[in-house]
Amino acid sequence: MASTSNAIAASNSSSLQFSSLLGCTMESIIHQLLYSRSIYPPDSYVHHRHLGVRFHCSRVPQVCDYISNFLKIAVPSIIGGVADSISLVILEEEVASISRGGEATGHRQQSIGTTKTLERFVFQFQMDSAIYGEDTKPKHIAINHDGGNMLPMDIQHEAIKRDTELALEARAQMERSMRDCLLQVLALRGRRRTKDERAENLSFKLCLHVAEDCKKQQQDGNDMVVAGFTRKECPELTSALKQGEWFQSEESTCLFSNTASGNQATVCKGLMRPIRHVELQSCGMKMQIGFEVPPE
């Protein structure tokens, strides 16, 4: 009984370490992307380190809280198999001035505008049963003892030792992969601003997309966004939705608007440019980082 409890405790500890490492890496990458896309002034960032890599981190409390609170829900949803991708959407508000009462000038002018998507960074995940599978009970491991006599407790001890070694090796592999992802993001070139673009009109939002086997129940939303609702459950996501901290929105609000075919705008996906592909069999995770721009 004690040996089984130890195995379960070791498994839970490994899962928490995996979740923490993935969450910290995603947080670091998002902050660095905001810096490289010039969403906020350069002096609003400070240098931090993650896995030995120096990156830019926003020091604006509202920005830090928004990203942190989003990942507290998104990472468990990804690991639990409820969601399959996270998107960082770069937005621009197009502002036009109109006048009241027929006056072309003066303080009575008002501004109206629409928000369009400039870029999207998409993090697609695929988790296997090693992380969230149906059978979470500790599995028996065959131990070769060369015909010698080993007590059951000795066999359990060797099994736990083997599990610990495998967990440490898996963590080391994941740390190397996450570090490479952050370095790849640091190597990205900054975005070129258009002639009429103004920094104060730029913003961003984070979106969480549920797996395709979900039951779609969508509604409008413009803050933390989850597209759709799934039959699988993530306690953190379920609680956030019930408390109104998150909103279910139409997936189109996280995509691009295309007016090339005429005056009627259509919603579409952008042109995907791969940034990094990660496959960690020891952790049961595949991750694809991509960069989307509006279709031509």
227 CB contacts (<8 Å, ≥6 apart)?
207, 208, 209, 210, 218, 248, 249, 250, 251, 254
- Residues listed for the chain: 296
- Is-above-0.95 flag for pTM? no
201-238 burial, b for 16+ CB within 10 Å, e for fewer?
Answer: ebebbbbbbbbeebeeebeebeebbbbbbbeeebebbe
Q: Positive or negative, the Cα torsion across 170, 19, 280, 28?
A: negative
Element (DSSP H or E) covering residue 171: helix 152-186
CB 40 within 8 A of CB 200: no
Written as six digits, the tokens of 137 are 């009970």
Burial class (CB in 10 A: 0-12, 13-18, 19+), 180: middle
Q: Provide the terminal-to-terminal Cα distance of the chain, rounded to the nearest Å.
A: 63
CA–CA dist 95, 262 (Å, integer) = 21
Pairing of strands 271-280, 45-50: unpaired
Three-class secondary structure of residue 252 per DSSP: helix
CA–CA dist 129, 133 (Å, integer) = 4
One digit per residue, pLDDT tens: the chain, 296 residues?
A: 444 555 445 555 667 788 899 999 999 999 999 999 989 999 999 999 999 999 999 999 999 999 999 999 999 999 988 999 999 999 988 765 555 554 444 454 444 567 888 899 999 999 875 444 444 444 444 445 555 555 666 666 666 777 677 778 888 899 999 999 999 999 998 777 777 777 778 899 999 998 876 544 433 333 455 554 444 678 888 888 888 888 777 777 778 877 655 555 677 778 899 999 999 887 788 999 999 988 86
